[in-house]
Amino acid sequence: MQDFFIRFKTMPRKHPILKKILIWRTKHISDKQFVFFLSVLVGITSGIGAVILKNLTHFIQHLLEGNLVRYYHHAFYFLFPLIGFILVYLIIKYIIRSKVSHGIPSTLYAIAKRKGVIKRYQMFGSILTAPITVGFGGSVGLEGPSVATGAAISSNISRLFRMNQKTKMLLIGCAAAGALSSIFKAPIAAIIFAIEVFSLDLTMVSMMPLLLASLSAIITSYFFFGDDVLLPFRIEDHFTISDVPFYAFLGVCAAFTSIYFNQVYEKVQDFFDRLDSPIKKLLVGGVAIGVLVFFIPPLYGEGFETMNNLIAGNPQKALEANFFNLDLSNIWVVIALLAGLVFFKVFASAITFGAGGVGGIFAPTLFMGSLMGNCVAKIINNCGLFSAPVSESNFTLVGMAGILAGVLQAPLTAIFLIAELTGGYDLFIPLMITAAISFGITRIFSPHSVYTMELGRKGDLITHDKDHAILTLMDIHKVIETNFISVTTKMNLGEIINTAVVKSNRNIFPVLDETKQQLKGVILLDDIRSIMFDQKLYKEVLAMEVMQKPPAIINLDKDKMTVIMKKFQESNAWNLPVVKNGKYVGFISKSKLLTAYRRELINITS
């Protein structure tokens, strides 16, 4: 209650109606009940956002792929991606006028570095750009943009009602759960996704809002879509214990495919980062995607139609549009084409992002997993080494879980998503085997998921490690103290005492160069205590002669809070100097740092 009144006093006077609503809410609704209400609201809005994104994309795809390609010419496949990237570029530059960030990574960044604050334009930015990207052939998915849209809405609802940071982060997690629940009609997997990817604590406090958001989102999805699901399938081939080695082998294949995905994705992104102009990125990416989609039409868009054909046991239908009109009655030709799709899909997805497209990585991951699983099953069944065949449809589904577990590093999400999509838990054991092996091996070579790759390298990633999470959320600038009186290297002892020691209430003095910018050392009061009353030395002893090298220096340009804590621990110092761009800024004291840590700990756990 006290937190509310503090926030209420700082509220702008231009919102009298909002003031009255908040006052009424404080008097009649408890904080807990209000969070429940907001979680339902966030779930509904996330569900509606996902519905809008899906419907717009499918409308564009039906308009283009169904009419222009089918009734006019296959060459439109080459033109569509470039046209789509141009439209997205124009919308971002002239309508939105701000960068539309990529789905889940941008949301994780907002949590880690912006206290969960997401700018308002992100509420509609993905809705305007992602359907055009995917509808015109960009080889990405809509799950990330759906999460980003829901997260932006939840962040701004939290700001509107002056919610604290912990509640804001919880509601962003609710938005993620709502978006996934609405898209896949998998409410349990959606909750687990929010916990795994956004590092939310699974407690009774967080469980109920996540449940309400996921439930309200799936009801919203049923209202608009009815019983339609993205991957309609019911298990017919049941798991047998003799299949365990094959599913373990599938896990190993999924792991190395995931590592390949991460490596290629990162290298392609680095290539586009080196292009200094968005026009260059657009042209290079548009032409590259056009070529890929022209020769390999299944790479067009999300690829759920291809996945469904594989699950249904119709690979020939999924591959019938191959450019070279290869003989699909030959099983090894089919296997080669499936392997080729796995190989090129990551290039298509990474190039789409690099060219300026807006989308998500979730669908491409499922696409690659289904192809990889089906391909492995076909190899096992046709190599002539094993008498009993394995289920190709089951391997297709379990392969999705394997790649999800490896690329997204979310094994529980992968297991429960496929289990819910198949309408039962008959595949639970093979899902666990494949996901666990894939996750374990991939983690060795790629410590961070494709979502957290950049944040993880910078040390800005929020994790389930509570200590690391608190340090990541702390603002280093708030603990810097600047009330230290500095001296220069050429000051004599008399000047040091008269201009610094006498006027300061601190016992440490930074020593700077003559420009008073570069830190050269520090002088402790103990360093001059034995000579400070000997006036004969006032003009003889210079600052550079009594200064010492600081035990450690904090660099604002690269040191994260975790590194700063480690420097204090290793140096046993109580005060450490801070520099930025090589220039002296101030000091950080251990006592103030620990006070700030304790305050953040109370805030995040209360």
Average confidence (pLDDT) over 521-540: 84
Q: Could you tell me if 262 and 315 lie in one domain?
A: yes
Q: Could you tell me if 337 and 425 lie in one domain?
A: yes
Q: Could you tell me if 364 and 507 lie in one domain?
A: no
State the pLDDT at residue 319.
76
Contact 449, 461 (CB under 8 A): no
State the pLDDT at residue 9.
45
Domain finish residue from 461, 478, 501: 461
State the pLDDT at residue 4.
44
Q: Could you tell me if 201 and 252 lie in one domain?
A: no
Residue 138 within a domain? yes
Domain with residue 589: its CATH number is 3.10.580.10
- What are the Cα distances from residue 593, in Å, to 464, 471, 472, 474, 480? 22, 10, 13, 9, 9
Residue 233 within a domain? no
Q: Does residue 327 or residue 278 have the better pLDDT? A: 278
Q: Could you tell me if 446 and 487 lie in one domain?
A: no
pLDDT surpassing 50 at residue 7:
no
- Output the six-digit token pair for 107: 């949301």
- Output the six-digit token pair for 217: 């989102």
- Structural domain that includes position 318: 241-461
Average confidence (pLDDT) over 55-82: 73
Contact 82, 290 (CB under 8 A): yes
Average confidence (pLDDT) over 456-478: 58
Residue carrying the six token digits 């090589």: 582
Number of structural domains in the chain: 3
Q: Could you tell me if 440 and 332 lie in one domain?
A: yes
Residue 6 within a domain? yes
Contact 394, 433 (CB under 8 A): no
Q: Could you tell me if 200 and 325 lie in one domain?
A: no
The single-letter DSSP state of residue 487 is: E
Residue 301 within a domain? yes
In three-state secondary structure terms, 97 is: coil
- Output the six-digit token pair for 329: 């009655």
Domain with residue 421: its CATH number is 1.10.3080.10
Residue 24 within a domain? yes
Q: Could you tell me if 361 and 408 lie in one domain?
A: yes
Residue 115 within a domain? yes
Q: Could you tell me if 218 and 304 lie in one domain?
A: no
State the pLDDT at residue 387.
76
Beginning with the edge strand found earlier in the chain, give each strand of the sheet holding 554-555 in spatial order.
480-481, 583-589, 575-580, 554-555
pLDDT surpassing 90 at residue 105:
no
Q: Say how far apart CA 375 and CA 381 lie, in whole Å.
A: 10
Lowest mean pLDDT among 254-258, 394-398, 421-425: 421-425
Residue 232 within a domain? no
State the pLDDT at residue 533.
82
Domain finish residue from 440, 461, 482: 461
Q: Could you tell me if 455 and 475 lie in one domain?
A: no
Residue 231 within a domain? no
DSSP per residue over 569-588, as a string? HHH--SEEEEEETTEEEEEE
pTM, two decimals, is 0.77
Q: Could you tell me if 274 and 418 lie in one domain?
A: yes
Residue carrying the six token digits 């392609």: 268
- Dihedral of CA 364/367/369/375: which sign? negative
Q: Does residue 523 or residue 447 have the better pLDDT? A: 523
pLDDT surpassing 90 at residue 317:
no
Average confidence (pLDDT) over 379-389: 84
State the pLDDT at residue 446.
83
Across-strand partners of 508?
524
Average confidence (pLDDT) over 595-605: 68
Helix (H), strand (E) at residue 294: helix 278-295
Q: Could you tell me if 300 and 372 lie in one domain?
A: yes
Half-sphere exposure of 461 (CA within 13 A, CB side): 22
Q: Say how far apart CA 374 and CA 360 lie, in whole Å.
A: 23
pLDDT digits (tens, 9 = 90+) for 212-256: 999 999 999 888 877 666 676 667 777 888 889 999 999 999 999
Lowest mean pLDDT among 27-36, 183-192, 480-489: 27-36
Q: Which long-range contacts (CB under 8 A, 24 or more apart) does 539-542 make?
A: 539/492, 539/493, 539/494, 540/492, 540/493, 541/492, 541/493, 542/489, 542/490, 542/491, 542/492, 542/493
Domain finish residue from 461, 482, 504: 461
State the pLDDT at residue 195.
86
State the pLDDT at residue 373.
92
Contact 96, 445 (CB under 8 A): no
Contact 145, 67 (CB under 8 A): no
